[in-house]
Structures are given as structure tokens and as C-alpha cells.
Chain A
Amino acid sequence: MKVSEAMVRCLEEEEVTVLFGYPGAAICPFYEALALSPIRHILVRTEQNAGHAASGYARMSGKCGVCVATSGPGATNLISGIASAYMDSIPLVVITGQVDSHLLGRDVFQEVDTTGMVEPFIKHSYLLKNPADTCRVFKEAFYLAQSGRPGPVLIDVPVDVQQRETRFAYPERAAIRSYKPSSMGHIGQIRRAAEAIRHADRPLLVAGGGVFASGAGTVLKTFLEKTGMPAVHTMMGIGALPFEYPLRLGMIGVFGAEAANLALNRADLLVLAGTRVGDRSIPAPELLARDKKVIHIDIDPAEIGKNIPADIPVVGDLRLILEQLCGELEGPELNPLTDWKREALHYKKTVLLKLPSRDRPDPRAVLKALCSRMEPGGVLSADVGQNQIWAADSFEVPGGRFLTSGGMGTMGCAVPTALGARVACPDRQVVAVCGDGSFQMSMMELATMRQHNVAVKLVVFRNNRLGMVAEFQREHGKETAVCLDGSPDFVRLADAYGIPARRLSRPEEIPVALDAMFRTEGTFLLEVETDPEEPTLPPLSGAF
């Protein structure tokens, strides 16, 4: 069979049911073969969004996301999607067409060094030149993307190679001698970690995105119930802690909850669970770690000691390691942590100052009301900017998922991510929250939603500003280049796509507007007029 047909067969072997892409001449043989397969193709409106949509799909399906683009401009358009997936450890297989293999390196029409350009932010890449390597390369790519620390893997296939003949024989397993990700934690380290937990007076668990990547949710609940330690999470870890856990103190970091940050500073033992301690979560890790013990659990040994010094590194799969730790903590009663628990609960009472009432709806109030109306298990895809922080700080949905571009902060990610998430789980409610800047980087995907019948609720906070940058500039000087004059009326824009929409302009309309949105079948756009002076963080009262 042709390599193009073999590529499609490989995807079928991997049980791929949907892919996100955009064709062009260099990938046409593959597309021709794809048309004969039951695999669903979702035509996005720009390649970057194929990357984001595949990421949203991967995060909600627990499978590998797949996206496709043509050579040259198709591939260059994809790269923000790939880099975002890399930073957030999302498993993707990216397929790109390439110019004729005999012409490589001659700067022919639409040639770009695709494997070279993605190198710094890809887990691995292949330039498939030999037809006989097709099956092995696909097998390896899917294995690499999903095992160990997940990440994107790219396969670049010259157009002439796609048309050549090959024999199809899909290997049972990938054999890569240089790649053996660890799974179980080293038993000596587990014992040391358990010992440290037994002896700590103020232990604190910090949950990161690794909880989702390893499927550690259930065992994490057991671990917390067993140890009784308070718990906080990073932005990637929103929704990772058991919803009902009374000592769940919220998100840490620059834009985190006061209670969570206070507990972080007071703790004498940190149990870092699947988090790389990015600078937005812990801005001065060396300083913080000075008076604490740190247990760092991560599947990627290169993360250990990178951002924060670790006293007890445990390399491996978080779910397995937590199981091992629970086993190791059987036996003698654990420290009841009475005072520390009382202290943590006290922090939770931190109250926020009421903002002076404004003419425009308070975005946090909108988001709180939105979350309270969302179904359990609902998915909120947040963009980047003030809207992201408002959403992160307000998100409270039992069993819900919060998706955002945590590592890259890629504006325009929310709409395509939500699209991919909804394709992965058509039974769960999916909401995208954007700013007016980020929405204008992604609004072409309204067409994709229409074309492929993907129902997402869209909330656009219109402050007529690149709000987060404007706020930063106000603190450091004066606003420049952040005004979004000339933006369209989003309600009418939605109408042009045949999508129902309405505007929310006054605080008292919040319940009616949200009810209207959720009552309407299918996709709906809600434009929320927001005060341009609205701060990212509400001021604290300091009294608790």
C-alpha cells in the first residue's frame, strides 16, 4: 500500500477517531487516504488552533491528540500550538507534509525546516524519508507522546514519500533503547518521604497538572484523607484536589488565593505532587525552601532540583508513587496535626474587600454565577489575561476541569481548546472564557463550531483593552498600544455566524443573561461589558 494509506492505517491502529487539521499540497496524499477512513477530520480555520484543539481533546479524552498541517506556512502556523502543548505536557502527535525529499534544503516553494524549527519545544521529531520506517515511526511517536512525561511528537513526511509503496506491519510495541521512563518510585526514597511526612508538624500538599496526566485523582484523595494534610494547587492543578476536601485552600502563586499562599509560607514540609514549581506558582523557590523540607514527586528527573531544591526527590508516576506512599504510611497512627489544621482553616476565612459598586458587572461575580450554574464535571477553558485570572480564582465546579495555557500563556487558546474538549466529551458542558483581545485571536473558530456542530458556551469579557498589559503599564508608567478600538460588536458577529448571542451590560442582569445562555441549545456567545479599570486581583481586607 501507499505510505499515505499506511499513515491512516497507523492512526486507526492507535484508535484515533478524530483529528484536527488544515490541508495543503504537501499533505494531500495523506488527506486523500484519510477521506476513505472513518476517522473524523475537523477543519479548523488556522493551524495554530489545530494544535490547541488537539490539546483540548487530549486533556479531556486522556488519549493522544492528533493534528495535521501542510509544509511551510502550515507548519509555521502550528508552532504556537505545539509549544503550548510542550509547556503543559500534553500528548500530541503532529503530522506535517513536507516538500519532495529530493528537493529538501533547496528552499523550494513552501519549504521550511520543520523538524529543526520545533526542536526546542518538542519531545521528539521524525523526518520520515524511508517508506519502510512508516509503521515504526508512528508506533514510536504515539508511545513517546503518551508515556513518561507526555508531550508533542512531530512526524514530517515529504510528499513523494507519502506516494511511495510500503508494506504495512504495525509493531506490537515500540522499542526505544534510550527511553525507559520510570513508573514506580524508588523504594528507599518512598521510605524517606513517608518518614518525613510522619515527622512533619505542618505538611502541605501542592498539586500540579501531573495529577491529571497520571490519573492520580482517586489515590490523591486517599492520601489526603490518610494524612489529613492541608492542600493547595497550581493553576495547572485547578480541579485536581478532591472537591469536598475541607482543607483545600486554593491556588498558590502570583495570582493565587491568600489562604493558599499563607499556608505555603508557613508549612514545614512541602509535598510537591506533579508540579514543576513554575515561576508563576512559586516566584522565589530558593527563599521559600530555606526553612522547609521538600519532597518532590515528578516523572521527569530534569524537573527535580531545576526550580526548587529538593530534599527528597521521588522520580516516577505520581499515581503509583502515591499508592506506594499510602502503603508505607500504614501502621502507627499519624500525627493528627490538630494545630496546623486549625491554622489552615483560619486562613480560609480570609475575606476580600467588597469593591466599590460599578456600573458594569463585576467579572468575578459573573464567573461565580456562571460556575454555580455549570453542571458537575463541566469544563471551563480559560484564555490569557485578566480573564484567565478571574476565571482561575472563581472556578468551583464539582468534578470540573479547568483548561488553560499554563506554561506559555498563549492568547487565543481558549476557544479552540474548548472546541477540542467538547469533541472529546460531548456529554460534558464546555465553556470558553476569553478577553476581547484573545477572542479576536481565535474567533475564526466560530465557523468550525458551526460546521462541525460543536456546542460551546462562549463568554467574552469586553473591556476594550488588552487588560492585563494595560494594568501592568499603569503600574509602571502609562498605557500604550493596549486599546482595542475598532473591535466588532461580538453579538452581531456571532449572529453573522448564525450563533445566538446576547450582551450583559449591568450587574443586575447577571442571572438572566446566564440563564439565557445555559437555556439555549448549542453554542451561545455572551459578551460581558467590563470596566476597563477592573483590577486583576481584588484588594484584600487583611482581616481574618
Chain B
Amino acid sequence: MKHTLSILVENHAGVLSRVAGLFARRGFNIESLAVGTTADPAVSCITIVADDRENVMEQLGKQLNKLIDVIKLRDFAPEEVISRELALVKINASARTRGEISELAALAGGKICDITRNSVTVEFCDTTERVENFLTLCRPYGLKGVVRTGTIAMEKGSGQLSVEEESGNGKKSEKD
């Protein structure tokens, strides 16, 4: 099953490598990873998307929680979050295809951010699925380059993962 982990961490050097190391030791490939600061600049949020084929996510979550720099962690199922990623897509374009591509981008909800004699660069921000879909549509023109940020996610509804939240007995884990 796909999991989206939101991990609040101290904004220190070395934290990301500690988090990534716990995946690496199991030979567990991370599908996507995004890091940025939160409302509090001393706290960063790491969003990791991973496919838990070996059923180890619960254990991994506990071990992530053990890292001293991890403040809080939530493991979301796909339907529990709003998720987005940003892709920059550079597409081959000639004078003949440029119009078609810009129409396609506009229809899909992308935005053209750079045009040259033989290329169009589109900024596209949506769910991973729709990013993939857009890339499929662009492929026939020839993709010169694609850069993606990795998924960021936020819990649906008014609740929000925060440092202050009650944590009861023990650490910051959701369940004992």
C-alpha cells in the first residue's frame, strides 16, 4: 500500500540523512521526498511517499520516531491527504506545434513559463497522478527534460500536524 509520511523534524544539519538511512538499511526505495520549513522556521517537514510492499511501515515509523531529531510523525493513507507536486516540463516545440502545446497546457491547468525557438517550458502543479497524465500527453512532442519536486501533503479538513499537539504518554507517536 502507498503511504504518505509527514515528519516534523528539527531544522538541523544531518537530519535528512538520518531519516533516509532508516529506509536505506532495509533496501527500501523512497518514491518521493520533499523537505521544507514549516510556519516555525526551526521545524522542517519531510514528506515521504513510499510503497510498503513488505509491510514494514509500522516498524519503520516507530524507528523514525526514535530519532531524537524527529518531533512528530504521521502516516497517512492516500485518501486522507491533499497532495501536490510541482513539475517543470520542457517540451520540444516548433512554430507549428507551439500553439497546440500551449493549448494542451492551458486545458490541463499548467502554465507556460518559458518559450524558445524550439522549446516550451510548462510549470505544472497537481497530484502525482495528474502530473503523470500530463507527461503522457506531452510525450508525443518529445520531452527535453522533466524536473519534479516530489509530493508534499497536508491532512484534509481543519486538523493539522503541529509540534504543540497533545502527545500523551511517551513520545510523539500516534499509537502506542
B68–A186 touching, CB < 8 Å: no
Binding stretch for chain A, among B17-25, B77-85, B114-122, B152-160: B17-25
Q: Which of B10, B14, B171 contacts A181 (CB 8 A)?
A: B171
Neighbouring A residues of B90 by C-beta, 8 Å? none
Neighbouring A residues of B136 by C-beta, 8 Å? none
Cα–Cα, bound, A119→B17 (Å): 9
B62 CB, nearest partner CB in chain A, Å = 4
B59–A144 touching, CB < 8 Å: no
With both beta carbons as reference points, the residue of chain B lying nearest to A123 in the complex is identified as: B68
Neighbouring A residues of B176 by C-beta, 8 Å? 186, 189, 301, 304, 313, 315
A179–B171 touching, CB < 8 Å: yes
B62–A302 touching, CB < 8 Å: yes
Cα–Cα, bound, A292→B93 (Å): 68
Neighbouring B residues of A184 by C-beta, 8 Å? 169
Q: Which of B42-73 contact A (CB under 8 A)?
A: 58-59, 62-63, 65-66, 68-72
A119–B68 touching, CB < 8 Å: no
B98 CB, nearest partner CB in chain A, Å = 45
A115–B25 touching, CB < 8 Å: no
Q: Which of B59, B68, B163 contacts A302 (CB 8 A)?
A: B59
Q: Which of B24-41 contact A (CB under 8 A)?
A: 25
Neighbouring A residues of B70 by C-beta, 8 Å? 178
Q: How many residues of B contact A (CB 8 A)?
A: 26
* A300 at interface, CB cutoff 8 A: yes
Cα–Cα, bound, A227→B25 (Å): 42
* B1 at interface, CB cutoff 8 A: no
Q: Which of B21, B62, B68 contacts A179 (CB 8 A)?
A: B68
Q: How many residues of A contact B (CB 8 A)?
A: 28
Neighbouring A residues of B25 by C-beta, 8 Å? 120
* A177 at interface, CB cutoff 8 A: yes
Q: Which of B122-176 contact A (CB under 8 A)?
A: 163, 167, 169-173, 176
Neighbouring A residues of B63 by C-beta, 8 Å? 302
A134 CB, nearest partner CB in chain B, Å = 17
Most buried by B among A120, A178, A304: A178
Q: Which of A178, A189, A304, A313 contacts B172 (CB 8 A)?
A: A178
B169 CB, nearest partner CB in chain A, Å = 5
* A38 at interface, CB cutoff 8 A: no
Between A and B, 19 residue pairs with Cβ closer than 8 Å are: A116-B17, A119-B17, A120-B25, A125-B14, A144-B68, A178-B172, A179-B171, A180-B167, A181-B171, A182-B169, A186-B169, A189-B176, A300-B66, A301-B170, A301-B176, A302-B59, A302-B62, A302-B66, A316-B170
List 4 additional contacts besides A177-B163, A178-B10, A315-B169; criterion CB under 8 Å.
Answer: A123-B68, A180-B167, A182-B169, A302-B66
Top 6 A-B pairs ranked by shortest CB distance?
A302-B62, A182-B170, A178-B71, A124-B68, A302-B63, A302-B66
